[in-house]
Amino acid sequence: MESLSAPAHRRVPLQGLLLAVSLLTFGSLPSTAQLTVASTNAAEGKDVLLLVLNLPESLFSYNWFRGKSANSSRRIGTFLTETQKFTRGPAHSGRERIYPNGSLLFQKVTLNDTEYYTIVVTKKDGLTEEATGQLRVYRE
């Protein structure tokens, strides 16, 4: 008796499970959100972090640039995730540092630091993602 009725009892829960799985899959789409630099305002002389959100996985390096594009002559620096090594670029002012999570630290920001900043994230597969944010420094 039981072996006959069991399949009929299972059919509905299985369909419910499949529906739940497809809803979960659909619901997980926002986790592929775009790389973002959080724009920020800061008072002159303060230490400021430009935060990077929605980092991809399998990272190889970060490059930060002054301005809205990845212009190599305006590169602030490069951070290699494997070695955790930071190297300065031509636009480094002596006050910037890149953290392992990609965020860019400015020590003692000046009014001159008011600018757009662009990060290029290179993944281990060689593909890159880019995002731009703005830092606005005001006089207190």
Ligand X SMILES: *[C@@H]1O[C@H](CO)[C@@H](O)[C@H](O)[C@H]1NC(C)=O
CA nearest to 116, candidates 134, 102, 130: 134
Residue 35 near ligand X by CB under 6 A:
no
Segment interacting with ligand X, rule: CB under 6 A, options 12-20, 66-74, 116-124, 125-133: 66-74
Q: Is 114 in the site for ligand X (CB under 6 A)?
A: no
The answer to whether 74 contacts ligand X (rule: CB under 6 A) is yes
Our finding on whether 54 is near ligand X (CB under 6 A) is no
**Is position 70 an interface residue for ligand X (rule: CB under 6 A)?**
no
β partners of residue 78: 63, 87
β-pairing verdict for 128-138 and 40-43: parallel
Residue 62, Cβ neighbours under 10 Å: how many?
24
| 39 lines the binding site for ligand X (CB under 6 A) | no
Q: Could you say which of 101, 114, 128, 134 contacts ligand X (CB under 6 A)? A: 101
Instruction: Note whether 132 binds ligand X by CB under 6 A.
Output: no
From candidates 60, 86, 99, 116, binder to ligand X by CB under 6 A: 99
Distance CA 113, CA 123 (A): 28
N-term to C-term CA, the chain = 82
